Structure 1
Amino acid sequence: MAEGPQQAGEVLVVTGMSGAGRSTVANALEDLDWYVVDNLPPQMLTPLLDITERAGGALPRVAAIVDVRGRGLFTELPREIRSLRDGRQTRTVFLDATDGVLVRRFEAVRRPHPLQGDGTIIDGIRRERERLAVIRENADIVIDTSTYNVHELASHVYDLFSAQGSARHTLTIMSFGFKYGLPPDADIVADMRFLPNPYWVEELRSLTGEDTAVRDFVLSQEGARAFLDSYSAALSPVLAGYQRENKRHSVVAVGCTGGKHRSVAVAQELARLLGDTPGVAIRVKHRDLGRE
């Protein structure tokens, strides 16, 4: 008896700047049981998926690492991605980093950039940025790895691509301290420094926004509840729009001076208020909570 058509699985196309962490991402995806194929010519994406779908669900999630090592074949990537989206759940991840960081990474491993030719590393980086501009613009997820070490990048991949049930969008609400810099992957930033700082209350200084006393202090301040109610209401249509546009992940960063008191309490309360948003999985991350 002939078998019926198999259900098309989820497809992840990982691309981006050379030196931005594709190998780390590939390893992390393999740890999450994705079937990962590295250095695949774009024209081989459809044949690969046709083969994997014959496995009858044994390979439900396939990740293809595609980059400029494919030379002239790489120019076909946008067209191939458009073709894949017809009938398959397909996402594109673009890995990026600043020019300075990429230069340092290439110098550290003492390897030339694949596009530098007779020029310098920075020449190769600039050529690559020109070639990838359209792909970056249309990517579903852009990850700036400039401030990540390999372990932090792997952890970020785990957060993004572990099983998420029926959620169409994952929202990370991240508390942070402005004195340590803005999170490079933040889509939206909220500033809690308009609220009184619990740091200046002696009995609260050694506590954090995870403690009930600090939470109650922060949320009872004038303007705190009005901000939370208005901000959560404003984010609701944004999250609905992200789902319509197939944007799978976003980061709302909530900052205060040190990332220990106000931003932590507000981030957790914001997550509670948005917790029932249809189609959205909420994650809370406190980036700077462990800093001195």
Structure 2
Amino acid sequence: MDSLPTRDVEVVLLTGASGAGRSTAAHVMEDLGYYVVDNLPPSMIPEALRLASAESAIERIAIVTDVRSRAFPGGLPGVVGIIKSLEDAGIRPTVVFLDCSDDVLVRRFENVRRAHPLQGNGTILEGIEAEKAMLRSVRGTAHLLIDTSDLSVHDLRRVLEDAFDGQVGRDLRMTVMSFGFKYGLPRDADLVFDARYLPNPHWDPRLRPFTGRDAPVSDFVLSQDGASEALGHLRDLVRTVLPGYRREGKRYMTIAIGCTGGKHRSVAMAEALADRLRGPGIDLRVLHRDLGKE
């Protein structure tokens, strides 16, 4: 690829499902100081990077590519080959993939009274399914997968600001998340652990009003047989795979711990696991997805 950058430029490739928030994400990246190029066919990415590298004022570039490029040779699936070629040349773009559940996407398209780009004469859901098939290979390249099903515009902004505030390329960003199985599995988790094997504080009237962030519940959960052992094994597992994440250029890792409602056991275990994982080279945050829903 002769048209690759001759100067280091921080590169973010932004893609994902139509209706999942790409436009919002592009605006956020622009606010964070990125030069944003929207609706760029994958085949033109190397040339865009070459041009960006020739401009001394451009230090960071975010390229949005999606199904709108399907009319060009290679279409969106071609981005996988482009990413591989960039990596072979020593350029490691950060791939951000925005995803969303089908029912939320349908509702969003209905609310704005717009057709899905791949809908044609069919239904919105048929368009969504066609796009997901087209995106499957691209989704597998993502370094940062963001599920916007339950995110507001402001939530999405915070997620991107957390990820791209100047730390990209240095520390690995790790999120330890608690969740409730009854609200669904987190779609953007890399590792999922089930804490429902532990006794449920919900059935103790004295503990029920508290959450896993409160000492009475935390002490109860962590004192149960198998709790400390599980945390130790999880810590060791994460430490084992971290070198592979860094070697493959993955800068983000989400570990999800679930219980029934996401209020007691998963919260206590997530907080305790985070305490065991904090250390040099890891930028860690704790997120309690479903806390407060009960």
Q: 1:24 is aligned with what amino acid?
A: T
The aligned counterpart of 2:80 is 78
Cα deviation code 1:227-279 (max 9, x no counterpart): 11122112211222222222222211112233222222211111111112x64
**TM-score scaled by length of structure 2:** 0.84
Aligned with 1:212 (options 210, 215, 235): 215
Inter-partner Cα distance in structure 2 for 1:248 and 1:198 = 35
1:28-74 Cα offsets, whole Å, 9 max, x none, are: 22233222221123333223322332343x43321111112223223
Query: 2:176 & 2:116 partners in 1: Cα distance?
Result: 36
Q: Assess, with a 3 A threshold, how the Cα gap between structure 1 residues 9 and 237 changes in structure 2: closer, same or farther.
A: same
Which residue is 1:159 aligned to? Answer: 162
After TM superposition, the structure 1 = structure 2 runs for residues 187-202 of structure 1, keeping only pairs within 5 Å, are: 187-202=190-205
Shift of 1:200: 4.1
Q: What do the CA deviations read for 1:69-98 (whole angstroms, capped 9, x no partner)?
A: 223223543333333332323122222334
- Please list every run of 5 or more consecutive structure 2 residues that lacks an aligned counterpart in the other structure: none
Partner of 2:246: 243
What corresponds to 2:30 in structure 1? Answer: 30
Q: Given that residues 7 and 54 in structure 2 are in contact (C-alpha distance below 8 angstroms), is that contact kept between their aligned partners in structure 1?
A: no
Aligned to 1:115: 118
- Structural RMSD (CA): 2.6
Alignment partner of 2:140 out of 137, 141, 151: 137
Counterpart Cα distance in 2 of 1:77 and 1:229: 39
Corresponding residue of 1:64: 63
Give structure 1 stretches of 5+ with no counterpart: none
Instruction: Give the residue type in structure 2 aligned to 1:70.
Output: S
CA distance in 2 between partners of 1:129 and 1:258 (Å) = 29
Is structure 2 residue 288 aligned with structure 1 residue 282? no
Report the Cα distance in structure 1 between the residues aligned to 2:214 and 2:162, rounded to whole angstroms: 25
1:240–1:121 distance in 2 versus 1, CA, 3 Å: same
1:242–1:101 distance in 2 versus 1, CA, 3 Å = same
CA distance in structure 2 between the partners assigned to 1:120 and 1:199 by the alignment: 43
Say if 2:6 and 2:50, in contact at 8 Å, map to a contact too: no
**Aligned partner letter, 1:68:** V
2:128 counterpart (120, 125, 130): 125
Aligned residues: 286
Measured at CA, do residues 131 and 206 of structure 1 come closer, stay the same or move farther in structure 2, by a change above 3 Å?
A: closer
Rounded to whole Å, the distance in 1 between the matches of 2:111 and 2:238 is 42
**1:202 Cα deviation from its structure 2 partner:** 4.4
